[in-house]
Amino acid sequence: PQDSSFPCNLTLTIPLPTAHLATTALRALSVDAELSPLVRRSFSTDNTVLRVEYSATTNRMLRVAVNGFFESLGVVLGVMKELDVDVVHG
């Protein structure tokens, strides 16, 4: 059931090459709590897919939170690529 005080929602599905990498990304990204109490975020994996669900009080808060997430995701994927050349391109 959707919380009416958090009407703005977005689900991201991010495919990764392996289930291990999806789980690793989840662990790395879920360490940092969401900065605003006006945004809620949850993570899960489904085999090789990282799923991130956002709920926010306004579209602006949702946009700011998702932009920050994509910056963090870029760092995590960059580290994965540096550690193993075949990780991202395999």
Q: What is the model's pLDDT at position 35?
A: 87
Distance of CA 75 to the CA centre of its chain: 12
Q: What is the pLDDT of residues 2-57, one digit of tens each?
A: 788 999 999 999 999 999 999 999 999 999 889 899 999 999 999 999 999 999 99
Note if the pTM is more than 0.95.
no
83, pLDDT greater than 90: no
65, pLDDT greater than 80: yes
For residue 13, the one-letter residue type is T
Span 8-85: which CATH code? 3.30.310.50
More confident residue, 88 or 80: 80
Q: What is the model's pLDDT at position 1?
A: 59
- Give the domain ranges of the chain: 8-85
CA distance linking residue 39 with residue 81, whole number of Å? 30
